[in-house]
Structure 1
Amino acid sequence: MNLCRVPLNLSPSAIWARNGITVAGIGNGTSGDTLNNLSFNYSIYMTHENVLYVTDMDNSRIVLTGPNSKTAIAVIPDDSNCSSPVSGPVDVFVTENYVYVGEMTNFHV
């Protein structure tokens, strides 16, 4: 089995916050389908603009949260005009122009 390991290159003087904050989901161990709930979040992706993309597999969506936000700022797909719904997203990758979503249910990207 080949495993890829990427060094973090943390400074020896790095300082960590004593208490973490919840930026997506309620944070009390329960799941749900509202904007402040997740159900089986499988992976995350952080952009250079500090927008966090979270795969919400059981709700078949990608939830976005911005810097200093305590709830979702957007959801993919936007149900109002979506012609290609997401089904069981397990991975997400974001470029300047595209959002790539790996799906478990449909077995495609």
Structure 2
Amino acid sequence: MTTTSDTTTTSILTFLPTGIYALSIPTCATWNQTGITVAGNSNGSSGSDLASLINPVDIFVDNNYTLYIADGDNNRAVRYYTNDTIGTVVAGNSTPGDSPSELNAPKGIAVDQYGAIIVADSSNYRIQRFPLGSTVGTTLAIDSTTNILGQVRDLHINVNNEIFVTDSDYSHVIKYYPNNGVGVTFSRQLWIRLSSKSVVRPIWKFRRWK
């Protein structure tokens, strides 16, 4: 059951063949508009201690409701278990750097099926993978003359461990296959269904690089 301050509705979780979970939310569902701070300071102050964040830019929530945060200006990734008020650093530290244990302005984060943390190490122009329990990363992809990668703004991973990143410098979306640091830029058209009408419209087409 999904409960809010205004109404109670029933949601149905659909398991698609691809392994993607689709949650059908009734049109009458509402949310409490008063948010609850689950990480960082509720008064809006920033900081580098483990109870604070500076410019968090992306999050990932796993099946156990564990929260992972790309803490951008702290140059680190932090983890919060349910009801935690103090985070745990799982990658990087407060000092920007490009060593295997450092990050520089991370802007995307995800966790794969093995528990490894995947980070878009944006200002280092690379994608880092931190195995479960390790703060030393391995480079999955990095900018080069043959494999262009600019500032990554977001990162997602699917059930096949294929990584998708948005590259704002070169205005494209790249997919990386497992065990292959060479990205494939693809063209996809994004469609959106208007809730008030039974129509579907294209709203954007990604650029294909050749």
Q: For the superposition of Structure 1 and Structure 2, which TM-score range results when normalised by the shorter chain?
A: 0.7 to 0.9
Establish whether residue 104 from structure 1 lines up as the match of residue 122 from structure 2: yes
Instruction: Indicate the SS of the match to 2:124.
Output: coil
Residue in structure 2 matched with residue 92 of structure 1 by the alignment:
109
CA distance in 1: counterparts of 2:124 and 2:62, whole angstroms: 26
Q: Give the equivalent residue in structure 2 for 1:63.
A: 78
Partner of 2:90: 76
C-alpha displacement at 1:15, in angstroms? 5.2
Cα deviation for residue 12 of structure 1 reads 3.5
Amino acid at match of 1:38: L
Q: What's the counterpart of residue 4 of structure 1? A: none
Provide the rounded CA distance (Å) in 1 between the counterparts of 2:62 and 2:31.
21
Q: Identify unmatched segments of 5+ residues in structure 1.
A: 1-6
Structure 1 or 2: more strand by fraction? 2
Counterpart for residue 35 of structure 2: 20
Q: Which has the larger radius of gyration?
A: 2
Query: How far apart are 1:50 and its partner, in Å?
Result: 0.4
Distance in 1 between the 2:55 and 2:64 partners? 25
User: Which ranges in structure 2 are unaligned for 5 or more consecutive residues?
Assistant: 1-21, 94-98, 128-210
- Cα RMSD (Å): 2.3
TM-score norm. by structure 2 comes to: 0.43
TM-score when normalising by structure 1:
0.77
Matched position secondary structure for 2:102: coil
State whether residues 23 and 71 of structure 1, in contact with CA within 8 Å, keep that contact through their aligned partners in structure 2: no
Greater relative CO (CA pairs within 8 A, separation 6+):
1
Query: Is the partner of 2:24 in helix, strand or coil?
Result: coil
Q: What is the aligned partner in structure 1 of residue 206 from structure 2? A: none
In the TM superposition, what is the alpha-carbon distance from 1:23 to its structure 2 partner? 0.9
How many positions carry a matched residue from both structures? Answer: 100
Q: Matched residues, percent identical?
A: 30
2:65·2:82 contact (CA, 8 Å) conserved in 1? yes
